Chain A
């Protein structure tokens, strides 16, 4: 157990639907990051939150949004889903710059 909890582990949904992915960071970590990993590809940075505020934004589609709550857990909302959104979505947390991330086990999203 890395200390970062992601739920659900697997999600199958239809095109056009909306889903919410949840992440609880490691205790003490204020930063949460979301990454997307499509099949056999590297990880693409989506968005970062620090202590409840958006800190950085990457290649995140307008159909996607995220937030971090006062208890520091974060949710990634994906709407109007398309087949191409099928991927492994990782959440990671960190305490400080350069310390490296702790990753959750990911949510496997399949859009059919």
Chain B
């Protein structure tokens, strides 16, 4: 079974600065997908970014980018120019493997607070 670990329960950053959230996972699969979801105080789950494991190029979405290290099974999220609206719980998720199918396995989350 796949596991996803987020070792930072809480983080804080000053507005306009850069912050990196860590995620590691364990799997025997070779092809899969990785995701970062954001859950603001409204509790809505919002897809931030996705990475296909067979692609070496790191995914980027505006101020959000990932550092995907397949051999190390690491998938960190970098948020540049942090904004107050980035304050949220961030979840790393694994899915799309042969055994896991399309269901997602989530980490426990990192609560990010952006301070003015």
Contacts and interface: CB of A to CB of B under 8 A. Distances in A.
Nearest to A43: B106
Interface in B22-76: 32-33, 35, 42-47, 50, 52
A28 interface: no
A68 to B, nearest CB: 14
Given A88-B43, A100-B35, A103-B44, A58 B91 contact: no
A98 B43 contact: no
A55 interface: yes
Contacts of B104: 33, 43, 45, 101
B102 interface: yes
Interface string B85-106: 0000001000110000111111
B44 A42 contact: no
A48 B108 contact: no
A31 B102 contact: yes
B46 to A, nearest CB: 8
Nearest to A55: B101
A15 interface: no
Interface residues of A, number: 26
Interface centre among A2, A90, A97 (most CB of B within 10 A): A97
Interface centre among B32, B43, B50, B52 (most CB of A within 10 A): B43
Contact of A98 (B47, B95, B107, B108): B95
Interface of A: 2, 31, 33, 41-43, 45, 48, 55-56, 58, 88, 90, 92, 94, 96-103, 105-106, 108
Interface of B: 32-33, 35, 42-47, 50, 52, 91, 95-96, 101-109
22 contacts: A31-B102, A33-B104, A41-B109, A42-B106, A42-B107, A42-B108, A43-B45, A43-B91, A48-B102, A48-B103, A56-B101, A58-B103, A97-B101, A98-B52, A98-B95, A100-B33, A100-B35, A101-B45, A101-B47, A103-B44, A105-B43, A105-B44
